[in-house]
Amino acid sequence: MICESIHMYNTDIPNRAELPTTRQLIRSTLIAAVAAVVLLFTVVLPSEYGVDPTGVGRMLGLTEMGEIKTRLAEEAAADAAATQAAHSAPVPAQTAAPSPAPAAATLIPITPASGLAEWRDEITFVLTPGQGTEIKLRMKEGDKALYSWTVQGGVVNFDTHGDALGRSISYAQGRGMPADEGELVAAFTGNHGWFWRNRGNADVTVVLRTAGVYSELKRVK
């Protein structure tokens, strides 16, 4: 009886030939590391941060999701900073103005008097409280597009920006804006347009009009 017990116990221990060799362990570790790097560049970076060095993320629709997450995070941080500043040093309420454009970007303001007699495209959409949406123009580097958008029933936060494979740029940003217009000059070939968010307590209607040189107008979200 004792001998049988000892024999059963010993059979549970793998012999030396069944154990993985050092070479096999190193190979498995390298394969796992390579798989992790591939997932990082094709899934994690595009979906979480909007960074797509391989182009796979945009093909899978992950890059746009990451770009939206990044903008929402930046917007939330700006809201928190604005709230803290308002509590520490109250100032009279005033309409926020768009941030100055970076040196590498070109955003030329236009006046209503210089608007076109006829716009090429017009799109109208409703934003519920807290909702955001994005509309892009497909443009080549140097292409110019005139635009004008107005808000009915309130104001919105906006970000005028562009993106392409491995590139992005912000032309202008604004908070609590009822309207904006200008000439958008594409800094590179890719998608260029606007992201709006309604931070108010009621629905607002946004009307966007565009004209100029671009191959496509699409609503991303």
Summarised one tens digit per residue, pLDDT across range 174-214 is 999 999 999 999 999 999 999 999 999 999 999 999 999 99
d(CA 3, CA 197): 77
pLDDT for residue 120 is more than 80? yes
> Mapped to the 3 state alphabet, what secondary structure does the chain carry?
CHHHHHHHHHHCCCCHHHCCCHHHHHHHHHHHHHHHHHHHHHHHHHHHHCCCCCCHHHHCCHHHHHHHHHHHHHHHHHHHHHHHHHHHCCCCCCCCCCCCCCCCCEEECCCHHHCCCCCCEEEEEEECCCCEEEEEEEECCCCEEEEEEEEECCCEEEEEEEEECCEEEEEEEEEEECEEEEEEECCCCEEEEEEEECCCCCCEEEEEEEEECCCEEEECC
Q: What confidence tier does 104 reach under pLDDT thresholds 50, 70, 90?
A: very low
pLDDT for residue 52 is more than 80? no
Residue among 184, 186, 177 nearest 206 (CA)? 177
d(CA 149, CA 160): 12
- Per domain, the residue ranges of the chain are 1-92, 95-219
- Give the model's pLDDT for residue 46: 64
Write out pLDDT tens, residues 7-46.
555 555 666 666 677 887 788 788 888 877 777 777 777 6
pLDDT, greater one: 149 or 103: 149
pLDDT for residue 221 is more than 90? no
Q: What is the mean pLDDT of the chain?
A: 76
- Give the model's pLDDT for residue 90: 46
Least confident of 47-51, 111-115, 143-147, 159-163: 111-115
- Give the model's pLDDT for residue 15: 62
Q: What confidence tier does 57 reach under pLDDT thresholds 50, 70, 90?
A: low
- Give the model's pLDDT for residue 61: 66
Write out pLDDT tens, residues 64-92.
666 666 766 666 666 555 545 444 444 44
pLDDT for residue 103 is more than 50? no
Inter-CA distances, 175 with 58, 79, 94, Å: 28, 10, 11
pLDDT, greater one: 61 or 90: 61
* CATH architecture of the region 95-219: Sandwich (2.60)
Percent of the chain with pLDDT over 90: 43
